[in-house]
Amino acid sequence: MNGAAFMFFGYVSFRLLTQKPRSRIQSILGLTLAFWALLELKDILLYFPSLKTEQLVNSLLFIDGWAVAACSFYLLELTAPGWLNWKKIFLLFSPYLIFTIVYLCTFYAPIFPFYFGFILLYSAVIVLIVTFAARRYQRYIRNNYSYSEHIDVAWLKKATLILAICLLTWVYTSIHITGWGDTIYYISSVVLWFVIIHYSAYQISIPMPNNLKGNLLAKEPVEENGTSGTEQDNGSYYAFREELLKVMEEQQLYLNPKLTISDVANAIGTNRTYLSSYFNNKLNITFYDYINNLRIEKAGKQLLTTYPYTMNIDEIAERSGFNSTSTFRRAFLKNTGMTPLQYRKSIQK
């Protein structure tokens, strides 16, 4: 399993780092996996009896902890695109480096509990930050985009669960070294990164406003003219509401599968921030749900009624303005309480 894990990480990192063009997130993922490949390679040293000394084993355990930092770099870039830079990488990695240097200079074994405690604390803090950042990122997407395919990070919930299993297994096997424990660790690490690689293959990072890049814990962006989007309606603030309904009815912008709130704002001659505030504060709905409801009401239901036999669900989803059939099904269920097939059967009776 050690050798298999090394080959897996080595092969995938090579493919990611040599493909052109590649995105920033793919480059960070490739470098992270290359680092994990080196970690798996150094474990092979322990299979040579002449090299397997207590000091070497302990030194390698300290280096193993670096994998947690490497993993956090990728998660932070994924949920807060553009926030990470070399200075922040050094600041996040420096505690691991200090612990390792101190041990290599002293070989003082009692430092291990403090190191493991720090890793667990660091992991808990990163999970909390990433969870907050992921929710903020998802909220930003739904307030500005009418689609979520390849840009949302909802799949991180699956990866986080596997990451917890992988981390706890590593801590246990570091204290109680067993063959089955190492096997579970190698398998869980491969499964973890397989899930991440699978979902990251087509991941597109959405650029965040500059003030969100600089502050990882900022809740909302202050955009354009400094309006936070929480101002009250003063009578003229939402003067574009009639124009919005007219444009949607006449131009059918909702049929554009890549429609953004900026496209709509330009079409009705208003500010993107004001429009977002209108959806959130006046209609109590996100831009994502507003457009997808229009797609269901104006196109989806009509197509299902008009072509109950000749057009399949995939074609109806595409002609309704949806990027994928799965999104069409979720939006239809949320809007009507029925799946498209159930709705089709109900109108045939």
Read off the pTM. 0.82
Radius of gyration of the chain (CA): 25
pLDDT tens by residue, the chain, 349 residues: 889 999 999 999 999 999 988 888 889 999 999 999 998 898 887 788 777 777 887 888 888 889 889 989 999 988 888 888 899 999 999 999 999 999 999 988 889 889 989 998 998 899 899 889 888 899 999 999 999 888 988 888 878 778 778 878 877 877 777 788 888 888 888 888 898 898 888 888 887 776 565 566 666 655 544 444 444 444 445 778 889 999 999 999 999 999 999 999 999 998 888 898 899 988 999 999 999 999 999 999 988 888 877 888 999 999 999 988 989 999 999 999 998 888 888 876 6
Look at the chain and count its residues. 349
Does 196 reside within a domain? yes
CATH number at residue 260: 1.10.10.60
How many domains does the structure of the chain reveal? 2
Helix ranges (DSSP H) in 201-271: 210-214, 241-251, 261-268
Does 205 reside within a domain? yes
How many Å apart are CA 31 and CA 77, to the nearest integer?
13
Residues 336 and 256 in one domain: yes
Does 227 reside within a domain? no
CATH number at residue 173: 1.20.1070
Does 221 reside within a domain? no
How many Å apart are CA 43 and CA 66, to the nearest integer?
14
